[in-house]
């Protein structure tokens, strides 16, 4: 996989944002495969409003966002109202994210977040632009990566290291069960428990260790008055889907 963007494509462009858009889209079409089926991806023609790429085989759609430097805890997205509206849309795309190094335009990071990881809680509402701004009153949004489980960030390239096609496809398939959950609040609960498990930073864990997050979960879900029962319910769901293994009473292992 080539890791340098082609600067020769944009010799006649003046806008940096246009340069990056053109270089990153051409690079992705030439180097990236569909994480769902492994087929090549194609660029949408005629600037489709939702999505930059699609897979001709499985018809998954993808939108690409690029950022200079490392992709941190958040990245700017579009208008807040539109982002929230898209979460419930049947046309919601998966998202590709590229982090590139300025100067030589080296692709240092590239990953995909499946669309079923996008719930309202990971979209941050930004302050409205001031009355003196060109788009006065406009309210933007940020995508909060800190709220997306690591299993929802599937890397093709991380810190310059390339991952195999098999690795990408396996990681995509591991969480595809989330696709069947349609309600935002139910999916939010599962993603929160997945984040709790990952924060322990170990493969084997206990129910009591997850109970430690009871207070934090009660803040995130104030409508629920029986947090421990909900934790057990989500662990059982993740076990049934093969995301975790049940070892013995109160003991689990990440698959």
Whether 191 and 164 share a structural domain: no
The total number of structural domains that make up the chain: 2
Percent of the chain with pLDDT over 90: 75
* Residue numbers of the domain that contains 146: 1-176
Whether 190 and 236 share a structural domain: yes
Where in 178-218 does DSSP place strands (E)? 204-206
Decide which of 76 and 113 is more confident: 113
Provide the β-strand partners of residue 205. 252
4-23 tens-digit pLDDT: 999 999 888 888 889 999 99
Write down the pLDDT at residue 146: 87
Whether 133 and 235 share a structural domain: no
User: Using CA of residue 188, residue 194, residue 195, residue 197, what is the dihedral sign?
Assistant: positive
Q: Is the pTM of this model over 0.85?
A: yes
34-72 tens-digit pLDDT: 999 999 999 987 655 556 899 999 999 999 999 999 888
Return the closest-CA partner of residue 29 out of 57, 58, 5, 59: 5
195-216 tens-digit pLDDT: 999 999 999 999 999 999 999 9
Whether 214 and 233 share a structural domain: yes
Whether 28 and 124 share a structural domain: yes
Return the closest-CA partner of residue 42 out of 70, 66, 62, 24: 62
Give the whole-angstrom CA distance, residue 148 versus residue 167.
Answer: 19
Give the whole-angstrom CA distance, residue 147 versus residue 114.
Answer: 14
Where in the chain does DSSP place strands (E)? 41-43, 53-55, 61-68, 74-79, 94-101, 106-113, 123-128, 139-144, 154-158, 161-162, 204-206, 244-248, 251-254
Of the residues 124, 147, 176, the one at which a domain ends: 176
Whether 16 and 138 share a structural domain: yes
Structural tokens at position 235: 């662990």
Helices 184-199 and 227-240 cross at an angle (nearest 10°) of: 90
């Amino acid at each position: 996989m080539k890791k340098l963007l082609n600067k020769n494509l944009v010799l006649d462009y003046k806008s940096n944002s246009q340069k990056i858009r053109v270089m990153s889209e051409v690079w992705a079409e030439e180097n990236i495969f569909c994480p769902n089926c492994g087929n090549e991806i194609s660029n949408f023609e005629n600037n489709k409003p939702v999505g930059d790429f699609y897979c001709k085989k499985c018809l998954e759609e993808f939108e690409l966002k690029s950022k200079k430097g490392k992709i941190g805890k958040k990245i700017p997205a579009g208008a807040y109202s539109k982002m929230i509206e898209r979460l419930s849309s049947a046309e919601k795309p998966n998202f590709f994210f590229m982090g590139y190094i300025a100067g030589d335009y080296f692709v240092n990071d590239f990953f995909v977040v499946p669309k079923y990881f996008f719930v309202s809680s990971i979209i941050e509402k930004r302050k409205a632009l001031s009355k003196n701004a060109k788009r006065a009153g406009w309210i933007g949004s940020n995508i909060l990566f800190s709220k997306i489980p690591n299993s929802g960030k599937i890397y093709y390239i991380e810190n310059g290291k390339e991952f195999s096609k098999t690795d990408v496809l396996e990681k995509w398939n591991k969480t595809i069960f989330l696709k069947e959950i349609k309600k935002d609040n139910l999916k939010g609960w599962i993603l929160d428990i997945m984040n709790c498990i990952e924060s322990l930073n170990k493969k084997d864990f206990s129910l009591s260790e997850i109970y430690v997050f009871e207070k934090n979960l009660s803040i995130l879900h104030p409508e629920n008055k029986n947090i421990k029962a909900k934790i057990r319910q989500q662990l059982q769901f993740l076990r049934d889907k093969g995301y975790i293994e049940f070892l013995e009473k109160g003991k689990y292992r990440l698959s």
